[in-house]
Structure 1
Amino acid sequence: MIPETILADLRLIVGANSVKTGEALDLIHPGSDANNLNAAVMVAPRTTVETAAVLRLCNKQRIAVVPHGGRTGLVGGGVSATGQIILSLSSMNNIEMLFASAGTAIVQGGVTLHAVQEAAACQHLSTGIDIASRGSATIGGMISTNAGGMEAFRHGVMRQRVLGLEVVLADGRIMSDMAQVPKSNEGYDIKQLFIGAEGTLGIVTRAVIRLAPPDAITATALVACISVDAATSLFQQLQASHTLHLLRAEFMAQNYFLTAVENLGPPSLASIASAPIYLIVETDAVDQASAQSILENALAEGIEEGLVLDAILAQSEKERGEIWNIREDSSVIDRVYPNGHWFDISVPLQHLESWLKQFDEGIAVLGPDVRGFAFGHLGDGNLHVGVAGTASKPDKEMVKSIIYAHLREMGGSFSAEHGIGLDKKAELTTLVNPVKLDLMRTIKSLLDPNGIMNPGKIL
């Protein structure tokens, strides 16, 4: 338990209403992991200076600090325990400046992605990154996990969206590298250490975000492809087209698609031809009035070339929403098959066909009551993979051996966009180069010698 004297000191720093315990904390949703609020103490500083004072106190007293953004993480990165404190950035949620002419925004770490998207849209700009949890995921959390999403093949992940950072270190020092330009070669790019560090090296309090031109989505289609290789060929053709702009290309293997359509509907989507692979593609075109017909012609060419079996083009915003629902409501798999394990991997596109074949064959060996599901972002090879039993959970280690087999040799990654947290520490130890691991430990010991920053996560 945190001593009452420490709680009193924290209240002096941030104000009594910004330290939550007991019933006040019970009102807060734990997010994606029921253990996120186990520390039973949450501190919500309102400024960088307050954040620094909190960390300075906790470092001196050797009290562990678990940073929280929107609590949407899926690998246990926000799990806390008794004797620790949760540091929430919920009160640091301002968009300080947005420069339309430069296409940049200065934001605090606790602002949600959706809030930045809305502010950018008012200036005819976008964030260049989008994820399904946009309403609760915070920019600081997305930076700390190096979030990706469906636009990464065009605009990159958070590493490419961040121009500058302000970070509070474990000892309370403030590192400010708030450059607002992409070209800033001032020695080591230290800010990159904190992108993807999951709060184990410091707290991201402010950031300069690179914005992008807005998407003018004018055509959406659900596409049935004859194979994975055909799907990747279609992706490359659409991306290289001079008549349309490919905005999104989302991937669904057959088992995922059929389960989602059967349980989410509408029946019209189930009428598409049976295929091993389905895509959702969205495009715009220079001539927006004919964008639908341009995409339709491109898909007709795909049919002629033997890449595409069938396609359904959305004729209204309602139909577009129905198509996207089968991809974004991926929790439908958990509702139908609750006895499952999920993985977040990246596979190079040239190996995607062979990896999926290997995956399907491996799942078949586990028995007739085990189901495998794969979907994700085709453009960057990021797959979300689920394996579930109809009656009980399959052995997780056996499933891992199937999913990770040959993945490193292929040039892929066992952690695409969700991070390491608690859940993937074993994979990090066994699959990552030992010299890289040693350098990570050296950096951790240098920046957080007392080990107070999100202890037990990653390393």
Structure 2
Amino acid sequence: MIAGDILADLREIVGASGLKTGDALSVLDPGADQHNLDAGVMVVPQNTAQVASILRFCNEHRIAVVPHGGRTGLAGGAVSAIGEIILSLSALNRIESLTASAGTAIVESGVTLQALQEAAARVNLSTGIDIASRGSATIGGMISTNAGGMDAFRHGVMRQRVLGLEVVLPDGSIMSDMAQVTKSNEGYDLKQLFVGAEGTLGVVTRAVIRLAPGDEFTATALVACPSATDAVALFQTLQRNRSLNLLRAEFMAREYFALASSNLGPASLAAFTRAPAYIIIESDATDQQIAQTALEEALAAAIDAGLVLDAILAQSEKERNEIWNIREDSNVVTRVCPHGYWFDISIPLQHLESWLTQFNNGIAALGSDIKGFAFGHLGDGNLHIGVAGETAKPDKDKIKSIVYANIRETGGSFSAEHGIGLEKKPELHALIDPVKLRLMQSIKQMIDPNGIMNPGKIIG
């Protein structure tokens, strides 16, 4: 438990309203993990100076600090425990500037992705990144987990969206590297240490975000392909097509699409052509009709080439939303099959077909009551994998051996865009290069020698 005198000192830093315990904390949504608020103490600083004072105080008193953004992380990176304090960045929610001519925004870390998207859209720009939890996920949290999402094959992951960072270190010192330009060769690019560090090295308080041109006119299609290899070939063909501007290519394997479409509807999608692989394709052009025609012609050519079995082009915003709902409401798997586990991996596209084959064969060998579901971001090979039993959870170690089989040998990754947190620590220690792991441990020891920052996560 945190002693009363410690709480009094923290209250002096953030004010009475900035310290939450008991009932004030119990009304908050714990987010993606029910244990996120288990510490029972939350401080809510109003600015970078208060963050620095909190970390300096906690470092001096050896009090563990768990940073929180929107609590949407799926790897346990925000889980807290008794004796720790939660540091919420929710009050650092200001968009300080958005410069259309430069295509940049300076934001505090508690700004939500949706808030920045809406501000950028007003000047015909976008964030260049999008995830389903856009309404609650914060920019600081997305930086700390190096979030990816649907636009990564075009614009990169969060690491590529960050031009500059302000970070408070465990001793309370502030590193300000708020460059607003792409080319800034000033020695070691230290800000990148904090992208994907999940709050284990310090607290991101402000960021310079590179924006991208807005996507105004879209054409959307649901496409059935004879195989994953054909789906990849279709993606590459459309990406090279000069008459299209390919925005998104979201993959769904047969098992996932069958479950999602039958439970989410409408009937027209549930009755769509059965196939081993499906893609949601979205493109844009200078005019809505031009976009529709270009995509229709491209898909007709792909059917003639044998890459596509069937396709549905959305004819209205309602139909577009119905198609996207099949992909975005992936929690339908958990609602229908609650006894399972989730994985987040990346597979090089040339190995996608063989990986899916070994995955499906491995799951089938476990018995008919075990189901496997695969979907994700085709352009960068990021797959989200669900494996569930009909009546009870399957053996997790057996499932891991199937999901991670040959993943390192083929150049893939066991952690694509959700981070390491608590969930994937065993994989980190088992699957990454030992020299890389040793360097990570050395960096952690150098920056956070007292181990106060998000202890137990990643390598702690």
Normalising by structure 2, we get a TM-score of 0.99
CA contact (8 A) 2:217 2:291 kept: no
Q: CA deviation at 1:218?
A: 2.0
Read off the aligned partner of 2:132 and give its amino acid letter: A
Q: CA deviation at 1:216?
A: 1.9
Read off the aligned partner of 2:271 and give its amino acid letter: S
Q: Per the alignment, in what secondary structure is the counterpart of residue 406 of structure 2? A: coil
CA contact (8 A) 2:127 2:212 kept: yes
1:393–1:217: structure 2 CA closer, same or farther, 3 Å change rule? farther
1:68-83 matches, cutoff 5 A: 68-83=68-83
Q: CA deviation at 1:217?
A: 3.7
Match of 2:178 in 1: 178
1:204-215 matches, cutoff 5 A: 204-215=204-215
Cα distance in structure 2, aligned partners of 1:256 and 1:191: 38
1:241-390 matches, cutoff 5 A: 241-390=241-390
Read off the aligned partner of 1:86 and give its amino acid letter: I
CA contact (8 A) 1:217 1:282 kept: no
Per-residue CA distance 1:307-337 (angstroms, 9 max, x = gap): 1000000000000000000000000000000
Q: CA deviation at 1:289?
A: 2.6
Read off the aligned partner of 1:15 and give its amino acid letter: G
* Pair 1:448 & 2:440 matched: no
Cα distance in structure 1, aligned partners of 2:456 and 2:229: 40
CA contact (8 A) 1:250 1:378 kept: yes
Cα distance in structure 1, aligned partners of 2:291 and 2:450: 58
Per-residue CA distance 1:371-404 (angstroms, 9 max, x = gap): 0000000000000001100011110000000010
CA contact (8 A) 1:253 1:374 kept: yes
Q: Share of identical aligned residues, percent?
A: 72
Cα distance in structure 1, aligned partners of 2:84 and 2:230: 51
Cα distance in structure 2, aligned partners of 1:55 and 1:185: 30
1:34-433 matches, cutoff 5 A: 34-433=34-433
Cα distance in structure 2, aligned partners of 1:287 and 1:98: 27
Q: CA deviation at 1:278?
A: 0.4
Cα distance in structure 1, aligned partners of 2:103 and 2:285: 22
Read off the aligned partner of 1:409 and give its amino acid letter: E
Read off the aligned partner of 2:165 and give its amino acid letter: L
Q: CA deviation at 1:293?
A: 1.7
Structure 1 segments unaligned to the other structure (5+ residues): none
Cα distance in structure 2, aligned partners of 1:177 and 1:89: 19
Cα distance in structure 1, aligned partners of 2:125 and 2:294: 25
Normalising by structure 1, we get a TM-score of 0.99
Match of 1:33 in 2: 33
Cα distance in structure 2, aligned partners of 1:173 and 1:401: 43
Cα distance in structure 2, aligned partners of 1:403 and 1:448: 34
Cα distance in structure 1, aligned partners of 2:88 and 2:454: 13
| Aligned residues: CA RMSD | 0.6
Q: CA deviation at 1:287?
A: 4.6
CA contact (8 A) 2:217 2:286 kept: no
Q: CA deviation at 1:273?
A: 1.1
Per-residue CA distance 1:169-215 (angstroms, 9 max, x = gap): 00000000000000000000000000000000000000000000001
Per-residue CA distance 1:259-309 (angstroms, 9 max, x = gap): 001100000112321100000000012454322121111111111000100
Per-residue CA distance 1:10-43 (angstroms, 9 max, x = gap): 1111111000000000111100100000000000
Cα distance in structure 1, aligned partners of 2:245 and 2:323: 19
Tell me which stretches of 4 or more aligned residues in structure 1 moved more than 6 Å: none
Q: Per the alignment, in what secondary structure is the counterpart of residue 308 of structure 1? A: coil
Per-residue CA distance 1:208-242 (angstroms, 9 max, x = gap): 00000001242100000000010000000110001
CA contact (8 A) 1:110 1:138 kept: yes
Per-residue CA distance 1:338-394 (angstroms, 9 max, x = gap): 001100000000000000001000001110100000000000000000110001111
